[in-house]
Structure 1
Amino acid sequence: MSPEGSLTSSVTENRMQSVGVALEELLVTAQKQECLTVGIYESAQFLNTDPDSVVLCVLAADGDEADVALQIHFTLLQSFCCDSGITILRVSGVPRLRRLLASVDDNDDDEDNRRQDGDIHCMLVTNPQADHCRLREVGIYCQESLRVDQWVPELVLQDR
């Protein structure tokens, strides 16, 4: 690899790490403010009733999750979000997301149990009035990814 390629790779990796941290902070803030819908079924219901309040759709799955039903749900959610102008981000690092969101709501046993069972594959960030700087950073990353012909921007969360 040339020195330029190595530098580009390093810059891209740093950018993805920065956006990953921004996404994590955004999700934690949204959960604390009760502006986060978690779960495929819950997200589909919310999108059906109030799509205008959704500012970000996060679809989370790791590469080893080849569940056909999950992929069908993702395709339908992506299509709906694209038609509605909702920013979409595909994320890998489901265990990291589980720990992150479980640490926010230690008192909510039902929610924690559902997340332990794996229903964390879709998350909607709502409340467009919340002008969160991390939302802007994630949104810019998604727009930049779309410019390089990624239909759905992707991000890998680093385990810490």
Structure 2
Amino acid sequence: MIPEESFGSVKNRMQSASLALEELLVTAQKQDCLTVGIYESAKLLNTDPDCVVLCVLAADDEDDVALQIHFTLLQSFCCDSGITILRVLGVQRLRQLLGAFDTNRNQEECRDLHCMLVTNPQVDHYRLQEVGIYCQESRRIDQWVPELALQER
């Protein structure tokens, strides 16, 4: 059984990492260092994996088999390339943060926020480091792919 004070510290670490991830993604988007979409991400990983510093996989529905296959392939590639991976629950929160629509598409077509790649290691380095530490700590406790739940506001 885990002591009660450990639950508090785990919850605080998750909240802190969640906020850091949100800030990192918004900053990366503003600096044009965020690749959004499964296919766009796969193309970038195929052409220039060295520029990728974080892979974020987001899904609220575990029943989508096709999406899970894409995630498995992306996770494998990222692991082989030494890219930090983070699974996120809270696609709706991502839509709030990053905008639900892409200006280059029909307004009714939502952006594919299931996979995002942060490129350029200089992007808000402090927040990137905080997310990276959370991922390392999570892997130490036998979480192959660390997870975070984003809270809607």
* TM-score using structure 1 length: 0.88
Residue 118 of structure 2 aligns to which amino acid in structure 1? V
Unmatched runs of 5 consecutive residues or more in structure 2: none
* Contact 2:27/2:123 (<8 A) preserved: no
Partner residue in 2 for 1:102: 99
Q: What's the counterpart of residue 88 of structure 1?
A: 85
Residue-pair matches, total: 153
Alpha-carbon separation, structure 1, partners of 2:58 and 2:3: 29
Secondary structure of residue in 2 paired with 1:109: coil
Specify which of 115, 135, 150 is matched with residue 122 of structure 1.
115
- 1:63-82 → structure 2 map (5 Å cutoff): 64-82=61-79
The verdict on how the C-alpha distance between 1:111 and 1:82 changes in structure 2, with shifts beyond 3 A counting, is farther
Superimposed CA distance per residue, residues 44-103 of structure 1 (whole angstroms, 9 cap, x where no aligned partner): 0000000000000000011x3411000000000000000000000000000000110018
Give distance in 2, aligned partners of 1:113 and 1:158.
Answer: 25
| Alpha-carbon RMSD | 2.1
Check the 8 A contact 2:62/2:68 in 1, yes or no. Answer: no
Q: Measure how far apart 1:159 and its partner are.
A: 1.1
CA–CA distance in 2 between the matches of 1:37 and 1:59? 12
Structure 1: give runs of 5+ residues left out of the alignment.
none
Q: Percent identity?
A: 73
Distance 1:65 1:112, change over 3 A: farther
SS at match of 2:87: strand
Which aligned runs of 4 or more in structure 1 are off by greater than 6 angstroms? none
Pair 1:134-2:131 in alignment: no
Deviation at 1:117, TM superposition (A): 2.8
Change (3 A) 1:131 1:158: closer
Q: Is the 8 A contact 1:98 1:120 kept in 2?
A: yes
Structure 1 segment 1-160 matched on structure 2, within 5 A? 5-62=3-60, 64-102=61-99, 109-110=103-104, 113=107, 117=110, 119-130=112-123, 132-160=125-153
- What is the alpha-carbon distance in structure 2 between the residues aligned to residue 20 and residue 81 of structure 1? 21
Matched residues in 2 for 1:50 and 1:84: separation? 11
When the two structures are superposed, what TM-score results if normalisation uses the length of structure 2?
A: 0.92
Q: 1:148 to 1:65 in 2, by over 3 A?
A: closer
Shift of 1:118: 5.3
